Amino acid sequence: MLIEVIKLDHSLIEEQLKLKENVSDFVSNKIAPRAKEIDEKGDFPWENIKDMASQGLLGIPIPKEYGGAGMDMLSYCIVLEEIAKRCSNTALVNLAHVFSSIAINLFGNNEQKSQYLIPMAEGKKLGAFGITERTGGSDVGSIRTEARLDNDNYVINGEKSYITNAGKADIYVILAFTDKEKGSKGLSAFIVEKGTDGLDFGKNENLVGMRGISIGEILLNNCIVPAKNIIGKEGDGIKIVLSCIDRGRIGTSAVSVGLAQGALDASIEYVKKRNMFGKLLSEFQSTQFLIADMATEIEAARLLMYQAASFVGKKERFTLEASMAKLYSSEVAMRAAINSIQIHGGYGLTKDGPVERYMRDAKTLTIAEGTSEIQRGIISRIKLR
């Protein structure tokens, strides 16, 4: 019996290779020099956002007619990976921003796209997506925020927690129930602008890693939002969230691959310089094997990420591929960071070098956009149908 062998071609086209090269140069010159200070001071990377905007990196997957580059998801993941190699904080801020603009692009009407996407893609306004609450994150059916139609406005009440770019963003996509009795089918999504009456912000979380991102609470107390700001129609919220979360998990996978590659790059540079017992550290087999394992796992994670990204827009659902990529790449990032510290020895435990930061940041990635346990649950449910 003949067995058909299917070869998946994940090689990058010339345009993507050029994009990768240009972003790599930009990151080396602009982003990398600020990464250590951003982490140490916990500063939000405003200068990096401004520089990314000048390079058109805040609207990569947004259509050209709305100010973006009109590129595909794989191209955007290439950008995220390159940024995350040197500053995963900046990459996550970028992802949260683009994540919210994707929701408007996929499900918004022409008026909403013209009003909000253009300034978001150009970097004039920063975005955030408000889904998670202390009672419900991955379990969106457990959220408590509600929106009530009152003439030409919706009145929204509730609290969002652990929201990336909270307080810093200008445009928020907020998930709320418009009909609690319908369960998840009663969820809707709204565009809420900073400065809207009833919109406020609570505390920012003091994170172990990703210390440069603003992750905190969004408070909605009789927040009055024009009815025209609903994205799609009432009940479309769950469809919007599921579609965007899958894309967000692929983006998180790209950030994870970038962080892991950064840890590997730092390790290779170190072992080629460090002498021990009269030999370079790179000459010891134990070091060589660690490097080999790291490199192999990172390449496997990258291929999973490329595969998931290549499915976006080409098939109806890519939930399985997105969860596999997110699960594996985030855990590879954690292992790469830990192995990098091991390779650096005592120096790896200090804040003088970058690798302890990689470890703290990597842990965030195993939790963000759904924990590893959530991803395993999704994968197993799909496979066991």
Domains of the chain (ranges, CATH numbers):
14-121 (1.10.540.10), 127-235 (2.40.110.10), 238-383 (1.20.140.10)
Tokens describing residue 7: 């070869």
- For residue range 338-349, list pLDDT tens digits in order: 999 999 998 889
Residues 291 and 268 sit within 8 Å (Cβ to Cβ): yes
Confidence of residue 330 (pLDDT cuts 50, 70, 90): very high
Whether the per-residue pLDDT at 118 is higher than 90: the answer is yes
Task: Give the CA radius of gyration of the chain.
Answer: 21
Which whole-number Å values give the CA distances from 248 to 158, 325, 335, in the listed order? 23, 11, 22
Give the per-residue pLDDT at 379. 96
Active site positions, annotated: 369
**Whole-structure pTM value:** 0.93
Tokens describing residue 221: 């107390």
Give the per-residue pLDDT at 157. 97
Whether the per-residue pLDDT at 1 is higher than 80: the answer is no
Average pLDDT in the 6-17 region? 70
Confidence of residue 3 (pLDDT cuts 50, 70, 90): very low
Confidence of residue 278 (pLDDT cuts 50, 70, 90): confident
Average pLDDT in the 65-92 region? 96
Beta bridge partners of 149: 154
Q: What are phi and psi of 273, to 5 degrees?
A: -115, -30
Give the per-residue pLDDT at 121. 96
Give the per-residue pLDDT at 316. 72
Average pLDDT in the 166-187 region? 94
Average pLDDT in the 96-117 region? 96
Crossing angle of helices 355-365 and 88-107, in 10° steps, is 30
Instruction: Give the whole-angstrom CA distance, residue 17 versus residue 29.
Output: 19
Average pLDDT in the 326-355 region? 93
Site of tokens 């120096």: 347
